[in-house]
Amino acid sequence: MQEGIMSLMQMAKISAAVKRHSNAGLFYLTILTDPTTGGVTASFAMEGDIILAEPQSLVGFAGRRVIENTVRENLPEDFQKAEFLLEHGFVDAIVKRRDLPDTIASLVRLHGGCPR
C-alpha cells in the first residue's frame, strides 16, 4: 500500500474499528504476509488476539537502514522476518499459505465463531 494521506486516514479508521471490535469481546485474527510494512504494522496488523505469519514474511515498520541509523546499532540479519518475530513473542505461529484455511477455521471454531 502506498501510504499517502488517504491511506493514513483509513488506518486510523481501521484501528478505531478494531478497538470497537475488541471492546465487544470479539475475536480478531491477523495474518502477516510478505511484505507487511509501514503503518499497517504499526497499527492494526499487530493488534490481533492471535497473530499468524507466513514463512519468511518481511514484517516491519521502517527499513533496516532507517532503524540502524536511528538506534545506532547493527541489527540481526533476520530481524524483520516472521521467524525472528516468532522467537521474540511478536507472532503466535508461522503457517504456510496452503495451511491457512484449515488453521483459520480451527481458530475461529475455538473462539466460538464457526460451527463444524
Instruction: Give the residue extent of every domain in the chain.
Output: 5-110
User: Among 44, 51, 45, which residue's Cα sits nearest to residue 95?
Assistant: 51
The pLDDT score that the predictor gives to residue 79 is: 93
The pLDDT score that the predictor gives to residue 25 is: 92
Q: Is the peptide bond before 55 cis (omega within 30 degrees of 0)?
A: no
**How large is the average pLDDT for residues 60-70?**
91
Q: What is the pTM of this model?
A: 0.88
Contact status, residue 93 vs residue 52, Cβ threshold 8 Å:
yes
For the record, the C-alpha cell of 102 comes out as 484449515
pLDDT tens for 90-114 read 999 999 999 999 999 999 999 987 6
The pLDDT score that the predictor gives to residue 5 is: 83
Q: What sign for the dihedral angle of Cα 8, 84, 107, 100?
A: positive
According to DSSP, residue 49 is labeled S
Domain boundaries 5-110, corresponding CATH code: 3.90.226.10
pLDDT band at 1, cuts 50/70/90?
Answer: very low
User: From the CB of residue 108, how many other CB atoms can be counted at a distance below 10 Å?
Assistant: 13
